[in-house]
Every structure is written in structure tokens, then in C-alpha cells.
Amino acid sequence: MTIPKESILLVDDEEAIRCILSKGLEMRGYVCDEAEDGEQALAKLKVNPSDLVILDINMPGRLGSEVLPDITTRFPETAVIMASGVTDNKVIAQCIKDGAQDYINKPFRFEQVLQSVNGTLDKRRLALEIQRYFQDMGKKDGGQVESRKLFLGAIETLVNTLEGCDNYTRGHSQEVAEIAASIGTQMKLAPQEMEDLHWAALLHDVGKIAVDPDILNKPSELTSGEYRHIMTHAVIGPSLVKPFVNDSVVEIISHHHDHFDGGGLDQSIRGKAIPLGARIVAVADAYQAMTSDRPYRGALSTLDAIEEMLWYSGSQFDPIVANILINTVRQKQLQSRYNN
């Protein structure tokens, strides 16, 4: 059986660049097609959707950044790498939000392009496998969805499997869900809100399947580019689970890294405009991470973690949510001392 080669559409107004990339990628086994502008690219994708598009931002007519949302909306299984000779962090951030998987700078080094192509297609294959896994678990009698509990149970199993491959994150999402549930109970959330919070906490990091594990496990300080790369999980995760959960869960996952004061990366909302569930998961996620070993540091003591929570209360964290967690931890400490 012959394995079909993956297809790449090269979109650039410079013919020489298209030619060089096409020859190099075809030598590595990829099937390439070319388009000189965004409209031609959309027309070609309509006839024959490609697995990957390398899309130049600065082209005559519609900019690549303007064409990108059309591609990701109309061809959701097509991955996109943006390319530009100008580095603009705001433009890059918007492209990532609009669904681009990576960004490469001109002038190209072919090794850089090849690395991006291989990595992006690897992540695309994994994302499609996960989506199809979810869909298969949800099929019953002609495509009817099974009970929500059974279906989401399969997701929980998958998350545990993904985290189980990493000693540093094993059990992280389950612990975050337990901490979040404790906070939600004390805040007297309604049953549906508690269920949404539970699944959002379990799935908050599912987008990390598309993050480079070498960056995730880097034992030293991250560069700004590496940090941005990791933070794409808050964009990729919602897109993965959106077909299978309600809008509340999607919103919580999308905003779980937002800062209460609006100072988070490329953040558009602040304060109580951030979904309450996201504010709860943010506190639970941070506290669990602080008190766990990471590649770049050992676990903080409970006392040090509380000090961190207090320090960032009102800036990174909702002060009401943070205070509930802090009081809960202190009560457990007092109870432990009393029992001993």
C-alpha cells in the first residue's frame, strides 16, 4: 500500500521564492502547488484542499493575514504557516489567534522552513487523529451522540494518557480540576456551572499536544518567542474541543491564561469580563504548577506558593478567587497541625 504524500500550497507573489521552496520540498517527498495571491489560493483550495499552506503576509491585493481567516474557516483541516519579511509581534499574535500554526521569517533558511513544515504537519496529523477519536467515540446508531458523560469520559482518559507521558505534568489537569471544584463549591456555583468548570479544568491544557515538547520541557528560562509558542495552546485547545463541548467550556479554556488586570499576552478583556470559570482555573492551574516540580525549578513550599498568590492577587489573579484558595490551603494546614 502506498502512503499518500502530503500536499503543500505555496502562496507568494514572488515566483522565485515559490520555485525554490517547491523544488526543495518536493525533494523531501511533498507534493507542492503554487498560487501568486490570496484569491488564487482560495480558488485552488476549493478545488483541491491542501494539507498545508505556506502563506505570505505582504502580497498585492488582500494581505495574507486577511486571507488567513477565510482559509481556517472554509478549510479547517488545512494547516497554515505564515511567512513575512517584517516581524510585527501584533500581526503574528493575530495570525495565531486566527488559526495559523507557525510563523517563519524571510529571508528563508530552507532548514528553518523544513523544520516548520515537518513540525506543523506532525501536529496536524495528531490533531486530526484526536478529533476523529472523539468523533468515533460519539457515534452511535447512525451518528447519534452517546451520553455526554460517556463521551467526555473518553476525553478525560485521553488527557490522562497525554499527561502520563511526562513526569512533570502527570496528573496536573486532574489536580487542577479538583482545586477548581473546591473553589467553585465555595462560590456556590450552579450545577451546570460546576460541570462546565470540571470539564474546562480537565481540558485546559489539551492544546499542548501541538506544542514542541523540547520547549515545554526546557530546563532554563524561555525566550519571548518560546513563551508565545507555548501560549498558543490556549488557542489550539479550544479549536480541538469546540465540536464536542458547550460554549462555556470553550470560553473558559480560551481565557484561562488571561490576567485579571488585563496584562496577559495579547489579552482583549479584563476583570469580571473574563469568564468566572476561567478566573477559577487560572488560580487553580497556577497553584498546582507552583507546588509541583518543573524542568526549570523544584516545587515551591505551600508557604511560598501562598506568598506568590498574594503578591499577584489583583493583577494576575482575581483577588476573590485567590483569597478563597489561600484560605482553603491555610485551613488545611491548621487542620493538619491539629490532627498531628
Per-residue pLDDT of the chain in tens (340 residues, 90 and over written 9): 334 589 999 999 999 999 999 999 999 999 999 999 999 999 999 999 999 999 999 888 899 999 999 999 999 889 999 998 877 777 877 887 788 888 888 888 888 898 889 878 877 876 676 666 656 655 544 444 454 555 566 666 666 665 555 555 667 888 999 999 999 999 999 999 999 999 999 889 888 776 777 777 777 888 888 888 888 888 878 877 776 788 999 999 999 999 999 999 888 899 999 999 999 999 999 999 999 877 667 889 999 999 999 999 999 999 999 999 999 999 888 877 777 6
DSSP string, 18-70: HHHHHHHHHHTT-EEEEESSHHHHHHHHHHS--SEEEEESS-SSS-HHHHHHH
Considering the domain architecture, whether residues 75 and 117 belong to the same structural domain is answered as yes
Spatial separation of the C-alpha atoms in residues 309 and 98, rounded to whole Å: 32
Considering the domain architecture, whether residues 47 and 149 belong to the same structural domain is answered as no
CATH for 57: 3.40.50.2300
For residue 144, the tally of other CB atoms under 10 A from its CB is 8
Q: How many domains does the chain have?
A: 2
Give the residues across from 317 on adjacent strands: 313
Q: What angle do CA 183, 292, 288 make, to 5 degrees?
A: 15
Considering the domain architecture, whether residues 198 and 229 belong to the same structural domain is answered as yes
Considering the domain architecture, whether residues 166 and 119 belong to the same structural domain is answered as no
Within-domain flag for 138 = no
Nearby residues of 336 by Cβ (< 8 Å), 6 or more positions away: none
DSSP-based three-state secondary structure for 100: coil
Considering the domain architecture, whether residues 324 and 246 belong to the same structural domain is answered as yes
> What does the pLDDT read at residue 305?
93
Burial class (CB in 10 A: 0-12, 13-18, 19+), 41: buried
Considering the domain architecture, whether residues 254 and 281 belong to the same structural domain is answered as yes
- CA separation, residue 190 to residues 79, 248, 275 (Å): 39, 13, 14
Within-domain flag for 139 = no
Considering the domain architecture, whether residues 218 and 318 belong to the same structural domain is answered as yes
> What does the pLDDT read at residue 279?
98
Within-domain flag for 133 = no
Contact 15, 62 (CB under 8 A): no
- Give the residue numbers spanning the domain of 27: 7-126
Say which DSSP state 273 is in. Answer: G
> What does the pLDDT read at residue 212?
72
Within-domain flag for 28 = yes
CATH for 320: 1.10.3210.10
Considering the domain architecture, whether residues 211 and 277 belong to the same structural domain is answered as yes
Within-domain flag for 243 = yes
Considering the domain architecture, whether residues 108 and 238 belong to the same structural domain is answered as no
Considering the domain architecture, whether residues 83 and 165 belong to the same structural domain is answered as no
Considering the domain architecture, whether residues 187 and 332 belong to the same structural domain is answered as yes
Considering the domain architecture, whether residues 154 and 122 belong to the same structural domain is answered as no
> What does the pLDDT read at residue 53?
96
The backbone region for 189, taken as left when phi is positive above 0, alpha when psi lies in -120 to 50, beta otherwise, is beta
Which residues in 277-292 are b (16+ Cβ under 10 Å) and which e? bbbbbbbbbbbbbbbb
Give the residues across from 53 on adjacent strands: 9, 80
> What does the pLDDT read at residue 39?
94
Within-domain flag for 135 = no
